[in-house]
Amino acid sequence: RPISRMLRLSIPDGTEGIAFAPYGDKLRQIRKICSVELFSARRVQSFRTVREEEAGRLLLAVAAAATASDPVNLSNRLSAYAADSSVRAIIGSRFKDRDTFLMILQRGIKLFAGMSLPDLYPSSRLAMLVSRVPGQMKRYREERDAFMDAAVREHQENRAADDDKEGLLDVLLRIQREGQLQFPMSIDNIKSAVGDMFAGGSDTSATTLIWTMAELLKNPRVMRKAQDEVRRALAGQPNVTEDSLGGLNYMRLVIKEVLRLHPPAPLLLPRECMNDCRVLGFDVPKGTMVLVNAWAVSRDPAHWDAAEEFIPERFERGEVDFKGADMEYTPFGAGRRMCPGMSFGLANVELALAGLLYHFDWELPGGAQAKELDMTEKMGVTVRLRRDLLLVPVVRVPLPLD
Ligand code: HEM
């Protein structure tokens, strides 16, 4: 990954976490920690209760709006759900200052995504002098560090006694304590990794959920089919649990189709060319920043029939998947830097979506027609709907009273 001059102000050399770990043995080490410890199937499963509680909270808020026949701002609700589930998995439910943590990290994500004068003119001292970004980066780093220090201290004091209750920060602190690593992990590395997991995990899941609900509203045939499946599979159950998600094959195809048309990180994360090479007749020098336009590739009529249409059935035969082997469809990237949190993210998305489809029917406010729903995109760290998604829920399967 390229690290710009501005980014370096907030991630000094040697303090990288996961997303900016330098290529080579250190990257291999942290990626192994990701697959064996942080995002293993067992670990993702261990946060099941957290997800179920947070999904329950989301559904209760939606049910309250349904009772009052009010529209619910699903963009806000789904963002809160994704942020809360991530923060609880990463930092742990005991963390006192969750809201401040969220605010600081959001500010960091905005700063990282922005283009600054010193990055456009890297050798210019004037650019460095007139730009406000260096000061903002420095302030962000100081604030983040002070805050993370407090979070780490709190964790060291209340060390998780039970392995299954470990949050991801606990896991990293344990690995550090055990001292078995070829390249020891510093507290700064751990703090950066926590930031990466939050930045990588929460907005992406929320964005996927928001686009899914918007596409389902726009495509009533698909909405009906997905709801029929969920309601058939869960018939008689008071609420959705992760045990009940096994047979929801069509819902999974819906999520796949959403990730094709709306990959939350449309340009993936920047890569850096490691050797001089030639691509399609163009010379690409070593060190060039490479952005992969996954959004365009996964809508390219050369690879997809009816490329602009929302047709989940196209994935029915399972020929194309997002696991990094099919280059025409890479919402999680591919190769050695592919998203390590894929199953974690999908678990968040599937549970919330199943609940929204099981308990409620959905309408547009003021009796508007599906074709009136504005699907314009807004470019940001992730690409979201330009306007907040406001929908009116109608209860079909009431939530249990407790
Ligand atoms: C729907 C959910 C998600 C999507 C669409 C997504 C997408 C991506 C993409 C496109 C990349 C860049 C891959 C590349 O350069 O080839 C990435 C990297 C990454 N993601 Fe995810 N992600 C999701 C969920 C998560 C979750 C839940 C976590 C952690 C809690 C996470 C953590 C990371 C990290 C740490 C990286 C950097 C990996 C590296 O540089 O080696 N992601 N993700």
363 by DSSP, 3-state: which?
strand
Does the pLDDT of residue 339 top 90, yes or no?
Answer: yes
331 Cβ below 6 A of ligand 1: yes
pLDDT tens figures, 18-46: 999 999 999 999 999 999 999 999 999 99
Q: ∠ CA 56-61-65 to the nearest 5 degrees?
A: 140
Mean pLDDT of 102-129: 83
| Closest of 330, 346, 316 to residue 255, by C-alpha | 346
265 Cβ below 6 A of ligand 1: yes
- Ligand 1: atom nearest CA of 294 is 10
Q: Amino acid identity of 189? A: N
Residue 400 near residue 239, CB atoms below 8 Å: yes
Q: Cβ–Cβ contacts within 10 Å for residue 140, how many?
A: 20
In the structure encoding, which two tokens stand for residue 56, read together? 């329950």
**Nearest residue by C-alpha to atom 33 in ligand 1:** 200
Question: Which own/partner pairs from 240-249 qualify as long-range (CB within 8 Å, at least 24 positions apart)?
Answer: 240/55, 240/351, 240/354, 240/355, 240/358, 240/359, 241/52, 242/48, 242/51, 242/52, 242/347, 242/351, 244/354, 245/350, 245/351, 245/354, 248/350, 248/354
Domains of the chain listed by start with CATH number? 5-395 (1.10.630.10)
- Ligand 1: atom nearest CA of 324 is 16
Give the separation between CA 395 and CA 66, rounded to whole angstroms: 6
Q: Looking at residue 67, what DSSP letter applies?
A: H
Does the pLDDT of residue 144 top 80, yes or no?
Answer: yes
pLDDT of 161 reads 56
pLDDT of 47 reads 94
- Ligand 1: atom nearest CA of 337 is 41
334 Cβ below 6 A of ligand 1: yes
In the structure encoding, which two tokens stand for residue 223, read together? 């909405």
Ligand 1 centre distance from Cα of residue 401 (Å): 37
394 by DSSP, 3-state: which?
strand
Local confidence band at 94 (pLDDT 50, 70, 90 cut-offs): low
193 Cβ below 6 A of ligand 1: no
For residue 277, the cross-strand partners are 284
Does the pLDDT of residue 361 top 90, yes or no?
Answer: yes
Mean pLDDT of 239-251: 95
Local confidence band at 402 (pLDDT 50, 70, 90 cut-offs): low
Burial class (CB in 10 A: 0-12, 13-18, 19+), 278: exposed
Q: How far is CA 235 from CA 51, 220, 242, in A?
A: 21, 21, 15
345 Cβ below 6 A of ligand 1: yes
pLDDT tens figures, 198-229: 888 888 999 999 999 999 999 999 999 999 99
Mean pLDDT of 364-373: 90
Does the pLDDT of residue 290 top 80, yes or no?
Answer: yes
Does the pLDDT of residue 98 top 80, yes or no?
Answer: no
Which residue has better confidence, 41 or 371? Answer: 41
pLDDT of 159 reads 66
pLDDT tens figures, 148-178: 888 788 777 766 555 557 889 999 999 999 9
Which residue has better confidence, 96 or 234? Answer: 234
Mean pLDDT of 350-369: 95
Local confidence band at 81 (pLDDT 50, 70, 90 cut-offs): very high
Residue 273 annotated as part of some ligand binding site: no
Q: Any idea which of 73-87, 109-123, 382-396 has the lowest mean pLDDT?
A: 109-123
Does the pLDDT of residue 70 top 70, yes or no?
Answer: yes
Q: Cβ–Cβ contacts within 10 Å for residue 297, how many?
A: 18
200 Cβ below 6 A of ligand 1: yes
Give the separation between CA 67 and CA 392, rounded to whole angstroms: 10
pLDDT of 378 reads 86
The overall pTM is greater than 0.90: yes
Q: Max CA-CA distance within the chain?
A: 68
Ligand 1 centre distance from Cα of residue 263 (Å): 11
In the structure encoding, which two tokens stand for residue 208, read together? 């996927």
Mean pLDDT of 286-307: 95
Mean pLDDT, rounded, of the chain: 91
- Beta strand pairing call for 390-395 and 72-73: antiparallel
Q: The tokens 């979201």 sit on which residue? A: 384
